[in-house]
Amino acid sequence: MMLTQPPPTVTGTEDGRRTLRVSIVMEWANTHLNGVSRAQVVLDELDRQWRLVTSGDLPADASDTERSFLATLAPEAELLIVSGEAIDAATRAEIEDRQSPGLQADIHIAEGLEYYPLKNFGIQLTTGDIVLLIDSDVIPDPGWLAYLLSSFERGEVSVVAGQPYVGSDDLFSRAFALGWIFDRRYPSPDIEPAPIIFSSNIAFRSDAIRPAGFPCIGSRTRGAAQLLRRKLERRGITLWLNRRAYVDHPPPSNLRHMLVRALAHGRDFYGDVSEQRNLRALRWSLGTAVTRNVRAWRACILERSHVGLPAWQVPAAWSIIATYYLFFAAGGVITYIDPKRSGRRFRV
């Protein structure tokens, strides 16, 4: 049974208006894969979009109720940057120089923590009524912040994710735009129950996420978002997807990253079933690799125009994504052979 969630608790006033506090958590782990410069672009875009939201300069298609809800947000948001290792002085100075009065960044270090534990660390530091998580390598499209936050004007929404997509700038990125884990960019005017969620850009009412955060996933590096979904659904909380709120997710940054990410992806799919030697887990991982490879081939042929892929590049694009899923399958096989050792390797 789906339970209707109440609106967030109102905690302050601003010129006589009710205000809601927003906390934003950005993990810094992905800068190892996609660079600090991309994270700086994300920070710039967050600052720009927050200023637009708080000034009432909203997308033209924002409804009256969405505009009214966004007008209740407190003018100052909390931005927490969480890193598993020290951030160098030059980068810290750049972050501080980019801050505006409405979005003050605080940097917190938790030595040794990886992707999901870092997110949980950041979540526990938040004080806002709405907690928004964004990765350091996903660049928001225009209007993303307004669209995502305005989802909470609906009382039944306690968790809402934006939609990642892979930008199609060259052959490599077009291959991943067609054959990887994210949908193509198909904006829709309404929010809908999410068939799958990604933690790269997702917002919660604080009481939906702060008590526990993401579940532990053992030796895996990805997969906690789907475990969280199951946990929330058992509480009667529906996870929603806002297809107006898009972020540009990068493909793997180079060949080595692609192969390591694929090996980790196959291991993590195996681990979703078992972290021991288990034939059912192996069949699940291998079957997923085959199914997604076939789906990628079909997408390269039938949907290539959507990402600007010329017909003569189809074989090359499919070869790239087929290589990815070959190593995905290898990740499952390696995990079956030696589950403990595979959990210590392929960290992404």
Domains annotated for the chain, with CATH where assigned, are 12-248 (3.90.550.10), 255-344 (no CATH)
Nearest to 339 by CA among 280, 286, 268: 268
Helices (H), ranges, the chain: 31-34, 36-55, 64-70, 89-97, 115-125, 144-150, 171-179, 206-209, 224-234, 255-271, 279-302, 314-337, 339-344
Facing residues of 239 across strands?
Answer: 159
Neighbouring CB atoms inside 10 A of 265's CB total 27
User: Per-residue pLDDT for 278 more than 90?
Assistant: no
How high does pLDDT run on average in the chain?
A: 89
What's the token pair of residue 334?
């390696």
What does the pLDDT read at residue 12?
A: 43
| Distance in angstroms (rounded) separating the CA atoms of residues 98 and 75 | 17
Residue 56 one-letter amino acid: G
User: Per-residue pLDDT for 13 more than 50?
Assistant: no
Across 254-267, average pLDDT: 92
Neighbouring CB atoms inside 10 A of 54's CB total 18
| Distance in angstroms (rounded) separating the CA atoms of residues 32 and 152 | 33
What's the token pair of residue 80?
């927490």
- What does the angle CA 126 – CA 194 – CA 63 come to, to the nearest 5 degrees? 75
What's the token pair of residue 340?
């403990």
Can you say whether the dihedral through the CA atoms of 241, 139, 130, 204 is positive or negative?
positive
What's the token pair of residue 111?
């030595």
Helices (H), ranges, 98-236: 115-125, 144-150, 171-179, 206-209, 224-234
Q: What is this structure's pTM?
A: 0.90
List, for residues 38-87, the tens digit of each pLDDT value.
999 999 999 999 999 999 999 999 999 999 999 999 999 999 999 999 99
| Distance in angstroms (rounded) separating the CA atoms of residues 121 and 105 | 16
Across 136-162, average pLDDT: 96
| Distance in angstroms (rounded) separating the CA atoms of residues 49 and 100 | 12
Percent share of the chain, pLDDT over 70:
93
User: Per-residue pLDDT for 333 more than 60?
Assistant: yes
Across 94-110, average pLDDT: 86
